[in-house]
Amino acid sequence: MLLLRPPGVYRADSDTALLADVLRERVHDRDVLDVGTGTGALALAAARAGAASVTAVDLSRRSAAATWLNSRLHRARVRVRRGDLYEPVRGRRFDVVVANPPYVPAERQDPTRYGIARCWDAGRDGRLLLDRLTSGLPDVLTAGGRALIVQSEVCGEEATLDAMAAAGLDSEVVARAVIPFGPVMRARAALLERQGMIEPGQRVEEIVVVEGRMPGADR
């Protein structure tokens, strides 16, 4: 799929493709929220899979603009909102929440405010956005609704499962893929080795899709 991507907007990659494959089976006739939409790749995948409605959110002005343009280019009905995580949709609930958040561990805890690095930097343990996403799910999911979040093994799939359980969701890993390190992970390899997040010489990672489901009847 052709996607316009201005400078500073995350390029859809293997993690996006893995999550898109999973969500296509779960969004038909559902109201979908794509958090941290980037180019809008997941929002467009949901729309193409027959979602009842799709709302895409991103803090970046460029990403919000890119998603708006791409949704028009592909004639997909996607509402685009700019803001921090769930703030632009406060008070609304969705059947499916999808997210490919920043999850690469960084040397500093606070993410950069500007530049392409904010598309992947996620604090020293890689969980800065993951933990905020999971803790807010009960406020945006319908009864029986589900969340689909993709991440790397380096920031702890068990931590995400535990965080979803703490938020009251049943959770499991529903997809896995082993991929070579990309440029960012290669550049961070020495840091990750020092922190014990990868084995010495490791240059592949497993990415996973974690699904969390709210109690209640699915409509």
**How far apart are the C-alpha atoms of 145 and 214, rounded to whole Å?**
5
Confidence at residue 114, expressed as pLDDT on a 0 to 100 scale? 63
Question: In this structure, what token pair is assigned to residue 205?
Answer: 């990672």
Please give the domain boundaries of the chain with CATH numbers for all domains. Answer: 14-213 (3.40.50.150)
**How far apart are the C-alpha atoms of 208 and 156, rounded to whole Å?**
10
The number of angstroms, rounded, from the C-alpha of 118 to the middle of its chain's C-alpha atoms is 14
Confidence at residue 102, expressed as pLDDT on a 0 to 100 scale? 92
Residues 51-100 have pLDDT tens digits of 999 999 999 999 999 999 999 999 999 999 999 999 999 999 999 999 99
Confidence at residue 123, expressed as pLDDT on a 0 to 100 scale? 83
Global model pTM greater than 0.85: yes
Q: Give me the torsion for CA of 36, 38, 40, 46, rounded to 10°.
A: -40
Q: Which positions of the chain have pLDDT values less than 50? A: none
The residue type at 104: V
**How far apart are the C-alpha atoms of 9 and 156, rounded to whole Å?**
25
Confidence at residue 122, expressed as pLDDT on a 0 to 100 scale? 81
